[in-house]
Each structure stands twice: as structure tokens, then as C-alpha cells.
Amino acid sequence: MDIVLVQGDITEARVDAVVNAANSSLLGGGGVDGAIHRKGGPAILAACREILATTHPEGLPTGQAVATVAGDLPARWVIHTVGPVWSASEDLAPLLASCYRESLRVADALGARTVAFPAVSAGVYGWPMDDAARIALTTVRTTPSRIAEARFVLFDPEAHAAFRAHLPR
């Protein structure tokens, strides 16, 4: 799989699937989650409500992933994953890695060939960007998948630089 880094807006990514750094309610929020829901429109929210009503009435657990339609986004699907909130006193790195593994698993099940990832948990959930980049890139690089391209779409220059520092040469 090719790993590509892009600085930009994930809601504009022309890929098969966009990964959403969601909260467990799947109903939208701040950061990437809010942007995806706003730009994707009501179809995404309706699909999330259906998931909550049928398979995840208590909310999507941290580290898991589910897919919905992409609504008005240029992607075909949105893969929602719930990242852990950063804690200096608890090792939650396995849960953050699970977000990426589970998103790739869902993407494979959908037949996606290109996936755009944000820096899961590195925004409002407070995960240090450097560590988030290391976990994300290591996990995506070592997870077996049929994905041809994993694109990390990073909103600002600092995030892009952190990911670039951990990208194998």
C-alpha cells in the first residue's frame, strides 16, 4: 500500500472512503467530525442514527469502526472510528492503533481501494501529535489490507510535519 501525506481539508478528499474521527454518539461534534457531518449533509446523520438504532444503541465503542454513506462528500463512504481521549496515566495506544486497523478492515469489506485518514485523537481528544503520527503510520504500514493508497489528510503544517517525520523514507 502507498502511504501519502497531504496538507488540506479531508472533506475534499477524492477517495473511496474518508475516515471520520467520530465521537461514540456518531451524531457529529467538533473538528473533523463536525466538518464531515456539515459538508456531507443529512444523509450521513441519518445513516449514523440507523446504526445507533440497530447495532450500537450504547454508542460506538472506542477503537471500533463502522461505515455509512458519504452524502455530499466526494468520497463513496465515511468510515467512523472513535479514538481514545489522551491520558498521561493510562496506555491507550492499543486503542488508537485499533482505530486504524478497524478502519482498514471496514474499508477492505467495502471494497475500497483509497482511504483518507485524519490524525485520529490528535485534535480535541488531546493526543500529542508526534505520538499520534507514529502510531498511525506504524499501524497502517503493518496492517494487512487490500487498500492501494492510504492518504493522511492533515489540516495544518504542524500535523503534516509530525507525520512526515515518521514516514519511512
What is the C-alpha to C-alpha distance for residues 168 and 63, in angstroms, rounded to an integer?
A: 25
Q: List per-block mean pLDDT (blocks of 10 residues) for the chain, which spans 169 residues.
A: 97 98 94 96 97 96 98 98 97 98 98 98 95 98 98 96 91
CA angle 71, 27, 88 (to 5 degrees): 120
Cβ neighbours, 10 Å, residue 124: 16
Interhelix angle 129-142/93-110, rounded to 10 degrees, is 40
CA dihedral 137, 141, 145, 148 (to 10 degrees): 90
Q: What is the pLDDT of residue 160?
A: 97
Annotated active-site positions, please? 33
- Residue 65, judged by CB atoms within 10 A of its CB (0-12, 13-18, 19+), counts as buried
Provide the number of structural domains found in the chain.
Answer: 1
Answer yes or no: pTM beyond 0.85: yes
Q: What is the pLDDT of residue 168?
A: 75
Can you give the CATH number for the domain in which 137 is found?
3.40.220.10
Q: What is the pLDDT of residue 89?
A: 96
Range of the domain at 106: 2-166
